Amino acid sequence: MDNSSSISVFVSRQGIFHKFFQKAKEKSLPQLIYLATLKVFDYLTLLRYRIQYPNLKLGSGVTIRGKFSVKGKGKVEIGNNCYFISFDKNSNTIYVEDFSACLTIGDNCFFNGTSFLIEGEGQVEVGEHCYFNGTTVKAIDFIEFKRHCLVSDALLVDTDFHSIQINRRDPKVHAKTKPICIDENAWIGSQSMILKGVTIGKNSVIGARAVVRQSVPDNVVVIGNPQQIVKELDTTVLPYEFPKVAEAVPID
């Protein structure tokens, strides 16, 4: 066997190299240079954020492009293959005020111009395959997004921030807080508001500009202020199942 044959056999037996060479064959030289430059840029960006924010834990395959910031003393854990991007003036902002505050994000999530503001001992948990576009999340207690949620430029707050009583400026008077839960595969529409103590049921849809003060059952569409159920969803249709990470198509 000559040298060229030996090299071919070696490459074919090494999965990672084989995959690289197969992908390289499909690209032109300018495309390969562009992709290589992009990969180096992404690597240096993640390295910068790891050094700049010691309380930030990044999983493998995380991509950050555009404006991104982490502030505060709390803990931030971002899962594998998450994608953060920001256009124009929209920035992905994470503020975890105190040492007890925490933001946990599952695998394969997407964020565009999203803000998490977590004060005191607040906790926010995001399940896998969630999609956020211009969302603002403000937590003092606990807000949970289960897997496969779609959240537009909505506002979610688990507190009144100030007491509604007349003596609200008294330091001894505290605002009420209650946890929020967004269940699996729910869709929160544009400019809607989800208030403290609310649970949004599985697969349910919150229409644009709705104000949700009471919990919503599974498989319904809610609109308006005050909120009202206007439709029940077809439960014979099964939710989309995302491919496993190993089978997912990487983002170029």
pLDDT means per 10 residues, the chain with 252 residues, are: 45 48 67 75 82 90 91 95 86 94 97 96 97 97 97 96 89 92 98 98 98 98 97 90 58 40
Indicate the domain borders of the chain.
Answer: 18-52, 56-235
- Say what the pLDDT of residue 241 is: 83
- Say what the pLDDT of residue 127 is: 98
- Say what the pLDDT of residue 14 is: 47
- What pTM, to 2 d.p., does this model score? 0.82
Contacts 24+ apart (CB under 8 A), 191-194: 191/152, 191/153, 191/154, 192/152, 192/154, 192/155, 193/154, 193/155, 193/156, 193/157, 194/154, 194/155, 194/156, 194/157
- Say what the pLDDT of residue 242 is: 82
Cβ atoms of 97 and 118 closer than 8 Å: yes
- Say what the pLDDT of residue 42 is: 79
Neighbours of 252 (CB within 10 A): 10
- Taking the C-alpha atoms of residue 218 and residue 247, their distance in angstroms, rounded to an integer, is 30
What does CATH list as the number for 56-235? 2.160.10.10
- Say what the pLDDT of residue 4 is: 44
